[in-house]
């Protein structure tokens, strides 16, 4: 029987958010914690407008993708752990059609591998995450960016970093 999914509303997203916070062990001040999820969500929604990516999938990715981290280092298995956990929460906390759930699952499972994607939704998820590397002082490399919009944003971030650096040099 086909899954009948209704559009998710803010209550659904809040439920996923509460769940993510409840399993997240690194605390609210982690660089991979809720503040990061929020920024990924905002950047992701901006990318959706320009790329036609699936907003719901991107929002769910933003909230859930780093929730199973056990440390703030590489923790290479946190993507697969979070993807596996989707099996527990999908259908309980939210309902998504199988093809959209598969996109979300793929985006989460492989978001740490440094890959890019031609799929606009997976690309928007990964770009939104990487665009937030600025919080740890890293300008993401263009090689790791999937979408045209992501590329444009990287160039802006790079220009901003350069002008800040030049400004700091001049005022030393």
User: Which residue in the set 129, 140, 146, 150 belongs to the binding site for Fe ion (CB under 5 A)?
Assistant: 129
Rounded distance, CA 59 to CA 128, Å?
Answer: 10
| 64: nearest Cα among 92, 34, 43 | 34
Shortest reach from residue 69's CB to Fe ion, in Å: 9
Q: Per rule CB under 5 A, is residue 54 in the interface with Fe ion?
A: no
Q: Per rule CB under 5 A, is residue 12 in the interface with Fe ion?
A: no
Q: Report whether 91 contacts 43 (CB < 8 A).
A: no
Compare residues 46 and 95 and give the one whose CB is closer to Fe ion: 46
User: Which residue in the set 66, 69, 96, 117 belongs to the binding site for Fe ion (CB under 5 A)?
Assistant: 66
Compare residues 135 and 165 and give the one whose CB is closer to Fe ion: 135
Please tell me the number of Cα atoms within 13 Å of 25 on its side-chain side: 7
Sketch the per residue contact string, 81 through 120, with Fe ion: x for CB under 5 A, - otherwise: ----------------------------------------
Number of residues that bind Fe ion (CB under 5 A): 2
What DSSP designation does 94 have?
A: B
Shortest reach from residue 34's CB to Fe ion, in Å: 11
| 74: nearest Cα among 38, 108, 112, 111 | 112
Shortest reach from residue 128's CB to Fe ion, in Å: 9
Compare residues 66 and 105 and give the one whose CB is closer to Fe ion: 66
Rounded distance, CA 16 to CA 149, Å?
Answer: 27
Token reading at 127: 């770009």
| 40: nearest Cα among 18, 23, 60 | 60
Question: In the complex, which residues of this chain contact Fe ion (CB under 5 A)?
Answer: 66, 129
């Amino acid at each position: 029987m086909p899954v009948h999914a209704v559009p998710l509303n803010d209550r659904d997203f809040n439920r996923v958010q509460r769940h993510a916070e409840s399993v997240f062990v690194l605390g609210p001040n982690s660089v991979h914690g809720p503040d990061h999820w929020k920024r990924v969500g905002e950047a992701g929604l901006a990318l959706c407008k320009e790329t036609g990516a699936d907003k719901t999938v991107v929002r769910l990715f933003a909230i859930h993708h780093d929730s199973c981290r056990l440390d703030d280092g590489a923790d290479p298995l946190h993507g697969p752990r979070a993807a596996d956990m989707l099996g527990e929460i999908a259908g309980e906390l939210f309902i998504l059609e199988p093809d959209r759930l598969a996109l979300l699952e793929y985006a989460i499972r492989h978001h740490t591998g440094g890959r890019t994607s031609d799929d606009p939704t997976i690309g928007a998820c990964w770009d939104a995450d990487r665009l937030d590397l600025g919080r740890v002082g890293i300008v993401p490399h263009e090689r790791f960016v999937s979408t045209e919009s992501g590329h444009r944003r990287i160039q802006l971030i790079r220009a901003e970093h350069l002008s800040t650096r030049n400004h700091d040099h001049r005022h030393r």
